[in-house]
Structure 1
C-alpha cells in the first residue's frame, strides 16, 4: 500500500505530515502504519522514512478543526527508534511550525496578506498555538531566509505563539524542591508549561548547564533517574511505575558562560541569560524543543525557581536561552500573577517534499 505525505522542516526538526482523511482514524491502526512506514523496529530506520534521531523521527496528522476559532487540529506522533512503538503523550512546537506553513500551502487556511495567521490545536494535549506565517505579497513561498539556531539553512518565517500554556505551572505547588535520587539530593523545578518538564539546578549537582552533547550523553542514565523520580510527583506515573520516554522532559539549567555551538559559532556569556541542556526521548537534544523552551521561560517568571535563581530573580518579557545550537529568545507576554497568556518564539519552516510512502504489509495487523 502507499500513502500520501508531506515532509516539512519546522525549526530544528523534520516531520512527515499526513492529511487525516488519508490515514486510519483508529489509533492502534495508525501506530502500526507509522511504525511500518518509518521502519521503526530498526535502530537506524534504514527500511523506512524515519530519520533515526528523535528530532527527525516525528509525524503529525493534520485536518480542519471542528472547533470555533481554531483552523486546524493536529495529532503529534514521536515515532520510536528501534522500539516499534509510538509516543502519543506530548506536543512538538517545531513540528507545529511546519504544520502552520503546511496549512497555508495546502489551502486549509486562506492567505490574508503579508502575514497569515493559523490557529492550531494539538489534540494530544489540548494546547492551542498560533502560527504567523510570512506570506509576503499574499503568496505562499517555498523558500525563505529566516534562520534559527541549529542550522544555517533559511526557511519561511513563522512566529509561533503558545496560548495560555501554563494555567497551573507548578504541579507540586513548589517553585523548587529537592528530590532524593539514590544517595544524592537534587534540586529541581517541576513545571507544567508547554510540556511537563523537570529542570535540574546544574551547579548544585556538580554540573554547569553548558555541558557538551557528549557529556550529556554520559549523563543520560542519571537524568532518566531524575525524571523517573519526578514523574509520580507530577501526576505522570504511579509510584514505582516507569514513565513513557516523552514526558516529563528533563534537563539542566545553569549560569551563562562562553561556549562554542554545534555549528562552530562562538557565543559570549553576555549574549544570553541562562544555559539549558535538555534530553529528548532519552538522547541529548541538539538544540531545544520549543515546549521545553516555553517551560524554561515560564519557570523564569517564578520566584524561587532554579531558573530565577540563575537569572537573579523573575524575568519578564524576553528570556535568552543558551542551547547547544545557539541562543533561542523566548518572549512571555500578558503576564498575570506570574503566568503568561502567550509565549512566543520566532521560527522558520520549509516544505521539503510531497511524496507517496510505500508501506509494507507489516503495517497491518497480523493474523493470529
Structure 2
C-alpha cells in the first residue's frame, strides 16, 4: 500500500501568521478609533459645541472623502507589482507616521474647516493603503465561505474594540483631553507596523490570463453589485446629523452610555452573523435584512425617541448581518481579485462623497428624522439591483459541511 506523506505546518510560519494577525488586529483597532471619532464624535463637536456652518463643513467633507479614490489605484498597483522595489517594512512605517501626523493635523485644524478637510483626506489616503494591504490578505486566505466570514469576524473584532474607546474617553475626559488621549492611542501604530510581517502579494497566475478573466467575470453583474453597494450605504446620509440629534435629546453622558450599548448589540449581531451566515444564501440574507432596515428607517419620523432607540438597536443587529454578507458577496463576485474587489468597493467611497455632505447640508434645514427617512427609501431601492445579482452556484456548499 502506497503511503502518502503528510505535510506538517512550519511552527515558525504559524507563529509569524498569528503574530501578523495580532498586528492586523491593533491596526484595525487604531483605524476604527479614528473612524468613530470622525463619524460620531466630531459631528457632536461641530454641531453642538462649535455650531459650524454646515455648508462649509459639507464642502470640507467632499474634499476629505475624495481622497478615498486612491484605494483602487493602490490595489491595482499591488496586484500588478507583487514584488515591491522598496522595503515593505519601510513603507508600513511611513504609513504609520503619515496616519499619526495627519490625525494630529486634522485635530488641530478643526476650527478651519477647509484645512481640516485637506488633512482628513490625507489621513484617509494613508488608511486606504493599510486597508488594501489587509484586504488583500483577507481575500487570498478566504478559500471557503466559512473562512470568509471568520476572517471578517476577526478583523471586525479589532474594529469594535477601537470603537469602544471614544465613548469611554468622552465620559472620563473633557474635549481637549479627549483628543490628546486619542492621539496617544494612535501613536503606537508606528511601532506595530514596523513589526508587521510582509504580506503575501503574489497573485494567482491562472487568474491573470485574459481568457480566464473573460470567463469568470460578468461586467453586468459587477455593475449591479456596484449600484447595490452604493445604495446599501444609505446610512451615510445621516452619519453626521444623527449623533448631535441624539445628544440634544439625552445629553452627552447618556449618549456615551447608549452608544456603548449599541456597540455591544452590534458586536452580538456581527458575531452571530459571522458564525451562522455561511450556512445560508448570502443574497437572501441581504434581501431580508435590507427590507427590514428600509422599513424600520421609514418609521423614524413617526415614533418617539425611546422607540427610535429600540429600532436603532435592532438595526445594529441587522447591520451585523449586512456587513458580514456584503463583504462576503464582494469577495464572491470579485473571484478573489483585489482589483475587482476594490473597484466594487470604490462605490462605498462614492456613497460617502455624495451622501455624507448631502446629509450634512440637508441638516441645515431638514430635521434629522426626515433625513433618516430618506435613507430608508434608498435602502429599499437597493433591492432592485440586488434582485438581479448573480452569485456563485457553489457559494452555499459550505452549509452542507458537517460541523464537528
- Scaled by the length of structure 1, the TM-score of the pair is 0.27
Bigger CA radius of gyration: 2
Larger % of helix: which?
Answer: 2
Q: Which has the higher strand share?
A: 1
Higher relative contact order (CA 8 A, sep 6+): 2
